Structure formats: structure tokens, C-alpha cells
Amino acid sequence: MVDDSYDLVVVGGGSGGVRAGRLAASLGARVALVEEHRVGGTCVVRGCVPKKLVVLASRFANDFEDAKGFGWNVSTATFHWGRLVDAVDGELGRLEGLYRRGLENAGVAILDDRGVLEGPGVVRLQRSGALLRCKHVLLATGSTPASLDIPGGEFCVTSDHVFSLARQPKRMVVLGGGYIAVEIASALNSLGTEITILHRAPALLRGFDEMLQEGLTSGLSEAGIRMHPGAVATSIERTSDGLVVHDSTGGSHRVDCVLNATGRRPQTRDLGLDSAGVEVEVGGAIKVDDRHQTTAAGVFAVGDVTNQLNLTPVAIRQGQEVAQALFGNDRRVPIRFDVAPTAVFSTPELGTVGVTESVARQRYANVKVFETQFRPMRATLAKSKECVAMKVLVCGDTDKVVGVHLLGREAAEMIQLIAIALQLGATKHDLDQTLAVHPTAAEELVTLRTAS
């Protein structure tokens, strides 16, 4: 079977691929989208969405405890893992249905298969053997958890599967200190799993501002999570009552589940890239220019498979740019990676935008640092140790705000809004002239007056 009438074939039904396919079809292009698993990709099916739902579930533990300080008589609360897993799976099914209907209503042909490049302008479907000929190909296959090449590494689960486990682990070792590791560790700990984190670097969240690293470490430790910086797993053995993880410091950890969260790699293996002349960089990421064009004519790539800034909104924006450039009016406004906000949904929560303090001091001769740390109003009656920390970095020569880092409840919501200000080039004077909303934690961002 050969179909040579497509204008665009999208390989990968994640956030970037879905946006590109849907927009291209709405602009009049004939589009096919090829997805071998579930439409929605890592974010909707295996990552951002199920993770956030589990995080929200985990935070009720603190909510029940805090409520006592506000006059509530809270009876003993119990948690049922199976009910949560079923509820999350039901929501993911609903979202996948919405994605499919949106694509179909736009006129996109959804092909449940694995797409492989056969040559320039040709995509082969591995299961059916069909050949799709097209003017353009968009590769949006995302990334996949990196494998753990140690004895017993096959006993690990990854972030792709941890939220669908039949039983909640009682004891878990988490390998890695990045945002996936700390988010899952924090959530499962609050739900009652005993957590140990082994991470190679001296601090969690490498590349984040030091204030966030220290605040997160303190918060996780306070919650009962054991952390072993400078330790990596050297082997995992299965025993009659679970797993034993041996680490590089000579320690051993007896658990019933090991989560490998040591990183992700671009999903480029066995995509037929060589046959189409698509080059990859060290690490396997597809090489693209600032228009998302690969080294092969007519072949584009977006999202995590290019390993530029692996965030769902980035993939969506890039997919939109490709569709608009090919079939609409190419009025692209380049993504400002320097002010791209991001959040870590651990407990405590983190939000960050702009440069870290260490980078700011390397980049600017005069840096002003405005910091504060305080107990939020909720913690006063709850008698909890919850705290909020904030840091605003300012270039002293221009008064421009170059970085904002938040730790605490609703940090993600706040960082989204303050990112607008940085995108518009806000100065510290602009923040100072903004009226505060009282009483809120966010008002501290516009009332900081003393710099260090």
C-alpha cells in the first residue's frame, strides 16, 4: 500500500506532534499522525499529567494534619493506592479521547503504528508495512528513560510505569537527583512509601539556584526522606523478600522497588534517520536549525527529541511554528529560552525563571540579590514547619530583573505570572511600584527592599 497524497506526516503523537498536526490540518494541509502507543505522548499519558495528579493526592496528607490547627476535627484518614491508580488511568483515558477527537475533527488521519523514515519524503509503517509519501515529515518522538547499565538494572521501574504499579511500594530507592526523581520521591513519601534517594551530584537539582537546592533538601529531609549525595547504584540483586541496592559508598538498601530516574534520552533509535540523511548530535538528539529544520530537506524535528529545552510548552510552541511556517503565515516570534519559566512539583514546590545567582555573578559586574524567607500564614495556626523562600536577582547597572526563584506552596502558579514581567523586561523599580495583594505570600515579590 502506498499513499502519496499527504502534505505532512507527523511521527509521534505527543504535545508537539499533536499541535503541529492539528494546526497544519486546520490550515488546509492533508496530515497523517503516526503514534505507536497512546495519543498524548509522555506528558499526558506517562509524565506531567499523571505525576501532577499523584502529587495533588499526596498533599492531602499535610492538608488533613494542618486542618486540625484551624478547628477541624479530622478523623483518621486512610489512603488506597488502587483507587488513585484507577482514577488517574480514567482521567488519562478521557484526555486521550479529547486529543483524538480534536485531531480527527481537524481532519488529521491518526495511524496507530510505528513510523520509520524510509528515505526523503517517505515514512514506513512498521506494523502494516504501508509507505506514506509526503512533502514534509515532522519528527516529534520525544524522549525515553535512560537505561541503567549495571548488574540487576533490569529490576528497576521508570517514570513511565511507576504510577501504574499494581501495589504501592512500601520501601523504594530512587536513583537520581533531577526533577523527575525528587517529584516522584516526594509524592510517594507523602503517600506513605519509605524513600531513599541516591544521587551522584553533591546537591539535588543540578543547575538550579543554590537557595532552591538547599531549601528542597531541607524540606525533603524534614519529611523523612533519606538522601545520599555522591552515591550511585553499583548493582541490584533480587532476594526472596525484595531487592537489595548496593551503592558506590559501600552501602546497601533493602527495598521492594527501585526507581531509575537518572535521566532521559532522545527517542531516535531505529527511526531510520540515516536513510533520510538526518544527523544527530552527541547523545542522540536530532540536529536542527532555528527553524526546526533537520539536515535533511523536508524533515523537521521538535520537542524533546531535539534536546533543547525539554518542557511540554516548548514542544507545543515549536510544533505550532513548524505548521505555521509550512502552511500559514510565518510570523514566528522566537522562544526566549533565557526567560522560560519552569516548576518542580515536589513538596515543597519550586518555581524558577531567568538565571541563577552564580550565573548572574559571572555574567554581570554588579548583581543585587533580594531574598526573604518566612512562614506562610497557613503554618502559623497549623503549627507546621512549612516555609517560603524567595530570591529576586537584579542587574545593578540596568535595574533589570534577571532571575526569580521561589520555594513553597503555589510556587509554580507564581512563577508563571512573574515570568510575564521578565519577558517584558521588567526592572526592580517596576516591581517596587506594583501594588501588593495582602495578605498573600506573592506580595513579598513586590515589597522586597533590601539587597545583599
Q: Which amino acids are annotated catalytic?
A: 438
d(CA 156, CA 204): 21
Residue 295: partners with Cβ closer than 8 Å, 6 or more residues away = 277, 278, 279, 287
d(CA 27, CA 324): 8
The candidate with the shortest Cα–Cα distance to 103, out of 43, 8, 26, 44, is 26
d(CA 154, CA 70): 48
Where is 122: in which H helix or E strand? strand 122-125
For residue 130, the Cα-to-chain-centroid distance in whole angstroms is 34
CB atoms within 10 A of CB 365: 8
DSSP for 186-223, written as a single string: HHHHHTT-EEEEEESSSSSSTTS-HHHHHHHHHHHHHT
Residue 123: partners with Cβ closer than 8 Å, 6 or more residues away = 9, 11, 34, 115, 116, 117, 131, 132, 134, 137
d(CA 421, CA 401): 9
Polymer length of the chain: 452
Q: Between helices 48-67 and 179-190, what is the axis angle to 10°?
A: 40
The candidate with the shortest Cα–Cα distance to 389, out of 402, 401, 375, is 375
Residue type, 297: A
d(CA 10, CA 22): 10
d(CA 400, CA 417): 17
